[in-house]
Amino acid sequence: MNPSLTQRGQGVFCLNEATASALRKTFNALTPFKGSGRFSFERTGSFRSELNVERPDPFGHFPAARSAVFALFLLAAAHEVAAAAPAVVDSRPAEARYATGRRTRDGIGKYYFDREISQVMGHLGAGWLERSEREQEERTDLLLEALRLQPGDTVADVGAGSGYFTWRMARRVGPNGVVHAVEIQQEFLELLMANMKRRGVADQVRPVLGAVDDPRLPEASCDVILLVDVYHEFEHPFEMARAMIRALKPGGRLVLVEYRGEDPEVPIKPLHKMTEAQVRREFSVHPVRFERNVNVLPRQHILILRRDP
């Protein structure tokens, strides 16, 4: 084989099964040359496609013809993929759709149930989460009591930050319990696990690098999922709520702690506060029932929702 007339290539792609099958079918149909393909699952459940190709190139001296055949391959592959891919159905209620509007100073210009979603606190704000006066200002001790955690519980701290509540919950669920600490910023997870080691609870804590639309928690695994001053920052609140509810055991509790939006005296920026009515409205489209608002904190709501049995 003349090396100058040989095409070689290697690629690694993350594909679903339908797409991988369609591309392989198209490649085999349009490429009657020497080639090999190997398809295998990744841990994520997606297909990992490794394609190694070494084939004689009859168009080596005719680049225009090669381009035409390549374009034909792309068109055929697109047709096969479209035919093989399952239809995507958006099952959310119409009222739960997102809207784009005026972006304010502390928001992102994206609206959900008429509420502008706020910007996210970065890991550089960890010092504020660990401030010495926090327990007195927010009475975090009363919040922990209100959670009513039991030894052996599996809980999740979503938006765990530096782990302020993570290690406190780990001590309450004990050595037989588990705390999933979910963050979308790797820097926060590294800081959090350093704190867990210092507190002696690292063996009970499972760090989870979540996505903006998925906390990546095991299905039906959690007795309690806690979100402290974080839900209002979710860029995809519908998807996050749906995924968290799926991660709850039947009858499990989703606990939102949010600064009281009804109270103008609470010294927090408006987009970083929420009213009870707004939370009820946004969760009315999910299979949970609003159980109660525990009014024991000086500045925040403790809003408890329970997954349907």
Question: Which CATH number characterizes residue 140's domain?
Answer: 3.40.50.150
Structure tokens given for 159: 């938006």
Quote the DSSP letter at residue 193.
Answer: H
Distance separating alpha carbons of residues 228 and 181, to the nearest angstrom: 12
Query: pLDDT tens for residues 95-104?
Result: 899 999 999 9
Cα-flanking dihedrals φ and ψ of residue 225, to 5°? -120, 125
Cβ count near 262 (within 10 Å): 12
Together in a domain, 137 and 57: no
Query: Which residue among 55, 84, 113 closes a domain?
Result: 84
Cβ count near 190 (within 10 Å): 13
Structure tokens given for 194: 């350093």
89 located within any domain: no
pLDDT, position 130? 60
What is the maximum span of the chain, computed from C-alpha positions, in angstroms?
80
Sequence-ordered strand ranges (E) for the chain: 6-15, 35-41, 47-56, 98-100, 107-112, 115-118, 154-158, 178-183, 205-209, 222-228, 248-260, 273-274, 288-293, 300-307
How many structural domains are present in the chain? 2
Query: pLDDT tens for residues 33-66?
Result: 444 444 343 433 333 344 444 444 444 554 554 5
Together in a domain, 56 and 111: no
Together in a domain, 134 and 202: yes
Higher pLDDT, 256 or 91: 256
pTM check: above 0.75 = no
pLDDT, position 122? 59
Together in a domain, 265 and 121: yes
Together in a domain, 253 and 172: yes
Together in a domain, 271 and 152: yes
Instruction: Inform me whether the pLDDT recorded for 172 exceeds 60.
Output: yes
Query: Which residue among 49, 84, 119 closes a domain?
Result: 84
Together in a domain, 293 and 200: yes
The one-letter code for the residue type at 27 is F
**Structural domain of 35:** 3-84
